[in-house]
A and B are shown apart, each in its own frame.
Chain A
């Protein structure tokens, strides 16, 4: 089954404790993105990747890092989480650029930073 998976689905952590949210897709897509969703603000793009080792900033990259060492994986790293990073996070992948092609979204990761 074609899908995007994220882990963990739920995470409670404390300020400053580094964490990684994993994302994996099995569709051989070149393009992947991370979004965060907050009430009243909608989905906002954090980072995107066009291929292995090629990443770029979205609209809200501050406080986040990403890496793309393999085509199927696109982890999101919060090196020093803060309470304002409490949010619902989605990973997405697409065959072509995100704006031109169908984006397939993962199930989401709900993060609470205390």
Chain B
């Protein structure tokens, strides 16, 4: 069955640097892959969606790439700030676009 894995549970990075988070999937390429931000005790907030036929998507300091050969999506935050500290979740559809599977998330800590 399809699995979605995020590369590590925690990532610490110095303020101002670029944070790169990884999302890997097995088997088939999802048609859509989404990234969300979640703060402690709160619901996830949608950030970006990338389609299978798109290589890259940007939104302000955020960038998502989708490599179907490596079966991987990378999520970048440039010029990271302490306010970017949160858990970041990737998600993809599994057989029918209503069903969504989430990774367990990567907790990002930006150190001043």
Contact = CB atoms under 8 A, between A and B. Distances in A.
Interface residues of B, number: 26
Interface string A55-76: 0101100000000000000000
Contacts of B92: 99
B103 A42 contact: yes
Contacts, number: 74
A48 B98 contact: yes
Q: How large is the interface on A (under 10, 10 to 19, 20 to 34, 35 or more residues)?
A: 20 to 34
A98 to B, nearest CB: 5
A102 interface: yes
A99 B93 contact: yes
Given A99-B92, A100-B32, A59 B99 contact: yes
A110 B69 CA distance: 40
Interface in B95-112: 96-105
Interface stretch (B12-20, B38-46, B60-68, B72-80): B38-46
Interface of B: 30-32, 34, 36, 41-46, 49, 89, 91-93, 96-105
Given A33-B98, A45-B100, A100-B49, 8 more contacts: A42-B104, A45-B101, A90-B44, A97-B96, A100-B93, A103-B44, A105-B43, A106-B43
